Amino acid sequence: MYNFPISYEPPVYRPPSEGRSLLIQVTIGCSNNKCTYCDMYRSKTYRERRIEEVEEDIRKCAASGLYPDKIFFCDGDALGASFELLEKSLLAVQKYFPDCRRVGVYATAENILGKSDDELKRLRELGLGIAYLGLETGDEKILHMIVKGNTANEMIEASLKLKRAQIKLSTIAMLGVGGQDLSAQHIEGTAKVLSATCPEFFSFLTTFSVPGTPYHKMEERGLIKPLTSKMLLTEMREILSRSSFTLNPVIFRANHVSNQHPLGGVLPRDLKSIIETLDNWIAHTPEGQFPPRPQQM
């Protein structure tokens, strides 16, 4: 059996599209760690790792013969690390993996706004190619309710700042995050932010409340009513149809658990066929049916 050359501080998460990337922990935990629906890093206290530790991990991976095409800097919002740590970590990647094509990172709007334009450009020059931003929703009230830590305007400002630095923006929104009562404003606000920012990549996640989280408690108390499968599909349809993507093509993916098939395409080019598919699914989805919960929740 192959012995992986480095050990991680668990739990470790990465975006689905970084499934083949080498994971390097630059930070531990999440600097926000307050979003009411999220329990990913509750067991960790946020900290930056020392550059010596990060460089040692990269060196060991290189010494063991790994040659990753892509690297992902963990944990929850590694762009929140100091500019100096990120710069040195990227220099270490260049030194040990000169053929690495791209480094990715999770980011919050706060992380992005906390870096200057020049710092972001420098990180881009050193190989930081993509940042994954959990927008979740473009609606102020829901952002406040889930304690996301940033306003919709800050999400827009941060997204455009990242794009100015030519770091690709991958935005994630959460279907159903406002519950039934706030669904209409979730649609409106999210379409507005997407239209203003036109991320290079966009994907939906479906909201499932995780036991033990404040979000789950709100659901138990009836303050948030989860959406049925039909409502979730309708939310997706409405967000997409009300967004206008004019700045650049958007690579769209949705692995909605109640979809019969994964949905994806390039927007706006494929919008018409995606909407037709969604209309067909909506028409054939019974009222009152909820999507199955993922296994590992």
Q: Which is nearer to ligand SF4, 38 or 142 (CB)?
A: 38
Q: Which is nearer to ligand SF4, 41 or 245 (CB)?
A: 41
Among 77, 87, 235, 238, binds ligand SF4 (CB under 6 A): 77
The stretch near ligand SF4 (CB under 6 A) out of 30-38, 162-170, 235-243, 256-264 is 30-38
Confirm or reject binding of residue 38 to ligand SF4 (CB under 6 A): yes
Instruction: Please say whether the dihedral angle defined by the alpha carbons of residues 98, 102, 104 and 110, taken in this order, is positive or negative.
Output: positive
Q: Which is nearer to ligand SF4, 41 or 281 (CB)?
A: 41
Q: Which is nearer to ligand SF4, 35 or 233 (CB)?
A: 35
Long-range contacts made by residues 242-249, C-beta under 8 angstroms, separation at least 24?
A: 242/187, 242/188, 242/191, 243/190, 243/191, 243/194, 243/195, 243/267, 244/195, 244/268, 245/194, 245/195, 245/198, 246/195, 246/198, 247/198, 248/198, 248/200, 249/200
Identify whether the C-beta of residue 34 lies closer than 8 Å to the C-beta of residue 110.
no
Q: Smallest distance, Å, CB 11 to ligand SF4?
A: 11
Confirm or reject binding of residue 173 to ligand SF4 (CB under 6 A): no
Report the SS3 class of residue 46.
coil
Confirm or reject binding of residue 35 to ligand SF4 (CB under 6 A): yes
Confirm or reject binding of residue 210 to ligand SF4 (CB under 6 A): no
To which H or E segment does residue 133 belong? Answer: strand 128-136
Confirm or reject binding of residue 134 to ligand SF4 (CB under 6 A): yes
To which H or E segment does residue 244 belong? Answer: none
Where along the sequence are the contacts to ligand SF4 (CB under 6 A)?
30, 32-35, 38, 40-41, 76-77, 108, 134
